[in-house]
Homo-oligomer: A and B are copies of this chain.
Amino acid sequence: LTTYPTKALTGASHLLPSLFHRYRKYVERSLRSALDDGKSGLYQMLRYHIGLADGPVLQGKAVRPVLCLFASEASGGKWQNAMPAAVALELAHNFSLIHDDIQDGDIERRHRPTLWYLWGTPKALAAGNAMWAMADLALLKLAGYGVRSEVVLRASGVMTEGCLEMILGQHLDLSFEGRLDITVNDYMDMISKKTGALMDVSSRLGALIGNADPDTVSAFGRCGRLLGLVFQIRDDILGIWGDTKNTGKPMGNDIRKRKMTLPVVYTLEHASQATRKEIGRLFQKETLAEEEVTRIIAAMESVNAQRYSRILAKQKCSQALRAMGDISMQPWARKELEELSSFLLTREN
């Protein structure tokens, strides 16, 4: 495993880079106005989910809008012109979260009760759908930002294909449940769809709207997808070994939920037949005793699953930066991309 040498990988790289702060206020304002006018009770649910209903604070880091606006700016465009796409991406991501919570039966997200838990599955399902429709409508507003019809059409196609891939990834994830024969390759293919696709689309759309040439657009897409893998693997690590202080979740939380994350898949692939059977048996139980969670984590440590996951994430992070290696970029943009990658690799929550 080779890694890209970057200074950004040292220091306080787990803190939100300045890049995030630059766009945040505007993303929040645009999201608010996208969801503001509807009087239907459904819009109330959307505002609650996004976090606009009960305070000024946008829930989540808005990684996708940031990636999109950054790619647009780094391509020499005005990031303001990419705002409709940034909003569309955040709405589409939140559509997937609302439906994921239904599919996984999760009763809490970002320390707040989930939509289906508060309003029931039928209405939450409709709310997710409305969120997706709002995303598509937001994207079409690009036409009012001086973007040519042909480019808006292409952006719309890229966005829809990305969402379809994300949905196929979610379906794949569901079909992994209860299977002990999933390999790391299977898993990487699944997260490339489930998480990578929309991150690919995020940076691809930014570059497209920033009028980048086709090679640059493709490179941004590849880079975004690889950063999606970094993001997801880091999520998997934090879901098991994350510090409760930072994540707000107890250690081993993903084990308790019997999620098939990278460390689990790797362990199943590398542990002894006996351990594999044991984990398989435990993953079929309705709930796990604390002692069983501890036993599974011990099995993971015994095959160095955490170390493997960290190295793989670092490798994907290097690949992401290498994808942009041949692309001409202003020094400030390359530095910010390194900071962004490094943050995704080392974040603590």
Using CB atoms and an 8 Å cutoff, list the residues of chain A in contact with chain B: 40-42, 99, 102-104, 121-123, 125-127, 129-130, 132-134, 136-137, 140, 143, 149-150, 152-153, 156-157, 160-161, 163-164, 167-168, 170-172, 174-175
Q: What are the 7 closest A-B residue pairs judged by CB atoms, nearest first?
A: A103-B122, A133-B164, A149-B149, A126-B171, A136-B160, A42-B171, A129-B167
Query: Which residues from chain B contact A127 at a C-beta distance below 8 Å?
Result: 171
Evaluate whether A157 and B174 lie within 8 angstroms (CB atoms) in the complex, with A130-B168, A167-B130 already known: no
Besides the known contacts A130-B168, A153-B153, 17 further A-B residue pairs in the complex with CB atoms under 8 A apart: A40-B172, A99-B125, A99-B126, A102-B125, A104-B122, A123-B174, A123-B175, A125-B125, A126-B174, A127-B171, A129-B132, A129-B163, A133-B167, A136-B156, A136-B160, A137-B157, A137-B160
Task: Kindly state the separation between the CA atoms of A127 and B164 in the bound complex, as whole angstroms.
Answer: 10
- State which of B129, B136, B157 has its C-beta within 8 Å of the C-beta of A99: B129
Query: Which residues from chain B contact A134 at a C-beta distance below 8 Å?
Result: 164
Among A123, A134, A136, which residue has the most Cβ atoms of chain B within 10 A? A136
28 contacts between A and B (CB under 8 A): A40-B171, A42-B171, A99-B125, A102-B121, A103-B121, A103-B122, A103-B125, A103-B126, A104-B122, A121-B121, A122-B174, A125-B125, A126-B171, A127-B171, A129-B167, A130-B167, A132-B132, A133-B160, A133-B163, A133-B164, A136-B136, A136-B160, A137-B157, A137-B161, A140-B153, A140-B157, A140-B160, A143-B153
Task: Kindly state the separation between the CA atoms of A150 and B148 in the bound complex, as whole angstroms.
Answer: 9
Task: Kindly state the separation between the CA atoms of A121 and B120 in the bound complex, as whole angstroms.
Answer: 14
Query: Which residues from chain B contact A132 at a C-beta distance below 8 Å?
Result: 129, 132
What residue of chain B has the Cβ atom nearest to residue A161's Cβ? B137
B164 touches A137 (CB 8 A): yes
Task: Kindly state the separation between the CA atoms of A143 and B136 in the bound complex, as whole angstroms.
Answer: 18
Query: Which residues from chain B contact A125 at a C-beta distance below 8 Å?
Result: 99, 102-103, 125
Query: Which residues from chain B contact A152 at a C-beta distance below 8 Å?
Result: 153
Prevailing SS type, chain A contact patch: helix
Evaluate whether A41 and B171 lie within 8 angstroms (CB atoms) in the complex, with A122-B103, A134-B164, A149-B150 already known: yes
Query: Which residues from chain B contact A103 at a C-beta distance below 8 Å?
Result: 121-122, 125-126
Evaluate whether A40 and B168 lie within 8 angstroms (CB atoms) in the complex, with A103-B122, A125-B103, A133-B163 already known: yes
A170 to chain B, nearest CB (A): 5
B130 touches A156 (CB 8 A): no
Task: Kindly state the separation between the CA atoms of A153 and B174 in the bound complex, as whole angstroms.
Answer: 34
Task: Kindly state the separation between the CA atoms of A123 and B121 in the bound complex, as whole angstroms.
Answer: 14
A253 to chain B, nearest CB (A): 20
A335 to chain B, nearest CB (A): 36
A198 to chain B, nearest CB (A): 12
A225 to chain B, nearest CB (A): 18
